[in-house]
């Protein structure tokens, strides 16, 4: 067998396991969901084969869940990035190299505990006997935090901050410090150096962290369920209701397909316009 023939064959064999896994674990479930979305609900719940667009035409009935998700998920991602960037910058630039691994481990430490335990802790902090009681003690009364969008945003920042810091840290840690020195030698202020050098070169890390947080927030169920108290509905909560309670699988499938399309379009335009250079887009995707 010639080298020219063997190379594509070897490449195909090496990619086959990942390709098979990708097909059965991602592509096939999406195809099944797409087929279900055109069906009808059975009398006792479930799925009956059909071909109708009624499920998609009925998507506005879950408009509140879509509105909450499309508002709070991007806002939570933005707040997480704003808080994570100074932390990552401090770890990459100010902390001595021998302590950076330890500090990164401390950033990831919240992931060592159950997500439910962390949100239960925030229920106690934001509940009537927590932060509102402390504010009332100093004269600020009638403060309600739990079961509000504010509580969901606080939980989003706290819960997903460990996913945002490491990608930004990697981009900043690889930053050529000579560029910062050259900028200072040319008379640029620290503020101009940050906006013109540090931030643009760290955009791949910001994009990667933002996509991780945004995608997980878009489909989250536990966060709005516990800190939103059933009053701040996400699409994830609507899907649980449709599949497990009302057992309207075709309608739930249509909502799922709509969610996937929204996420795909959002990620595409984010990578297309926020990261202008091709190399930065590739680095962010990796």
Count the domains in the chain: 2
- Between 213 and 280, the more confident residue is 213
In a domain, 156, yes or no: yes
Q: What does the pLDDT average to over 154-180?
A: 89
Is residue 126 located within the same domain as residue 21? no
Q: What CATH number is attached to the domain comprising 64?
A: 1.10.3720.10
pLDDT attached to residue 284: 44
Beta bridge partners, 48, equal: 40
Is residue 132 located within the same domain as residue 171? yes
Is residue 94 located within the same domain as residue 204? yes
Question: Each residue of 59-87: pLDDT tens digit?
Answer: 999 999 999 999 999 999 999 999 999 99
In a domain, 31, yes or no: no
pLDDT attached to residue 191: 85
Q: Largest alpha-carbon pair distance within the chain?
A: 84
* Single pTM value for the model: 0.85
Q: How far apart are CA 11 and CA 4, in angstroms?
A: 12
Cα-Cα-Cα-Cα dihedral sign, residues 29, 77, 160, 106: positive
Domain containing 264 equals 38-285
Q: Are 250 and 49 in contact (CB under 8 A)?
A: no
Is residue 161 located within the same domain as residue 218? yes
3-class SS letters over the chain: CCHHHHHHHHHHHHHHHHHHHHHHHHHHHHHHHHHHHCCECCCCCECECCCCCHHHHCHHHHHHHHHHHHHHHHHHHHHHHHHHHHHHHHHHHHCCHHHHHHHHHHHHHHHHCCHHHHHHHHHHHHCCCCHHHHHHHCCCCCCCCCCCHHHHHHHHHHHHHHHHHHHHHHHHHCCCHHHHHHHHHCCCCHHHHHHHHHHHHHHHHHHHHHHHHHHHHHCCCHHHHHHCCCCCCCHHHHHHHHHHHCCEHHHHHHHHHHHHHHHHHHHHHHHHHHCCCHHHHHHHHC
Is residue 74 located within the same domain as residue 1? no
Q: What does the pLDDT average to over 115-142?
A: 87
Is residue 227 located within the same domain as residue 270? yes
Is residue 121 located within the same domain as residue 5? no
pLDDT attached to residue 138: 86
| CB proximity list for 139: less than 8 A, separation 6 or greater | none
Is residue 20 located within the same domain as residue 103? no
In a domain, 159, yes or no: yes
Instruction: Decide if pLDDT at 5 tops 80.
Output: no
Is residue 7 located within the same domain as residue 121? no
In a domain, 32, yes or no: no
Question: Each residue of 177-211: pLDDT tens digit?
Answer: 788 778 877 888 888 888 888 888 888 889 889 98
Q: What does the pLDDT average to over 123-145?
A: 86
In a domain, 33, yes or no: no
pLDDT attached to residue 2: 52
Is residue 16 located within the same domain as residue 92? no
pLDDT attached to residue 184: 79
Residue 153: how many CB atoms within 10 A of its CB? 19
pLDDT attached to residue 6: 60
Is residue 19 located within the same domain as residue 80? no
Is residue 69 located within the same domain as residue 139? yes
In a domain, 220, yes or no: yes
């Amino acid at each position: 067998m010639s080298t020219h023939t063997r190379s594509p064959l070897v490449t195909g064999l090496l990619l086959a396991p990942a390709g098979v896994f990708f097909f059965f674990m991602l592509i096939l479930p999406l195809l099944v969901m797409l087929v279900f979305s055109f069906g009808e609900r059975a009398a006792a719940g479930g799925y009956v084969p059909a071909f109708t667009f009624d499920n998609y035409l009925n998507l506005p009935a879950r408009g509140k869940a879509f509105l909450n998700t499309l508002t709070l998920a991007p806002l939570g991602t933005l707040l997480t990035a704003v808080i994570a960037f100074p932390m990552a910058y401090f770890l990459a630039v100010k902390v001595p190299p021998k302590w950076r691994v330890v500090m990164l481990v401390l950033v990831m430490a919240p992931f060592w505990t159950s997500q439910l335990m962390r949100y239960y802790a925030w229920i106690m902090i934001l509940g009537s006997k927590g932060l509102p009681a402390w504010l009332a003690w100093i004269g600020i009364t009638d403060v309600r935090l739990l079961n509000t969008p504010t509580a969901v945003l606080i939980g989003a920042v706290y819960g997903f901050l460990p996913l945002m810091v490491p990608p930004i840290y990697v981009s900043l840690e690889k930053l050529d410090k000579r560029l910062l020195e050259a900028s200072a030698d040319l008379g640029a202020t620290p503020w101009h150096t940050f906006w013109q050098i540090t931030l643009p070169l760290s955009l791949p890390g910001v994009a990667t962290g933002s996509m991780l947080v945004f995608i997980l927030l878009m489909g989250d169920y536990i966060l709005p369920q516990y800190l939103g108290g059933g009053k701040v509905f996400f699409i994830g909560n609507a899907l649980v209701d449709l599949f497990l309670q009302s057992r309207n699988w075709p309608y739930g499938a249509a909502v799922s397909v709509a969610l996937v399309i929204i996420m795909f379009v959002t990620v595409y335009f984010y990578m297309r316009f926020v990261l202008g250079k091709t190399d930065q887009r590739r680095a962010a995707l990796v």
